[in-house]
A = this chain, B = another copy of it.
């Protein structure tokens, strides 16, 4: 499956969340990561994030069946996924 992860966390925890997500997914923009994961990896990502975040923090994980979406970039494409792989 393919996931798009968007986070809105307190500045105190941003670096930790960013560092963790970088180990599993491709950084796309500011607080957006995406990538192909297994069900086990998705479970692990959710479990770890639950431990990292606190207070009013919020993380959304859009789980898509595959990467058959179109991505429209307006303005700067900060981190083209294709270049990262």
Q: Which residues from B are CB-within-8-Å of A68?
A: 65
Tell yes or no: A82 within 8 A of B by CB. Answer: no
Tell yes or no: A25 within 8 A of B by CB. Answer: no
Quick one: closest B residue to A63, CB to CB?
A: B70
A50 touches B62 (CB 8 A): no
Q: Which residues from B are CB-within-8-Å of A56?
A: 75-76
* A32-84, CB < 8 A from B: 32, 42, 46, 49-50, 53, 56-65, 68-78
A71 touches B61 (CB 8 A): yes
Interface residues of A (CB under 8 A from B): 4, 6, 8-9, 28-32, 42, 46, 49-50, 53, 56-65, 68-78
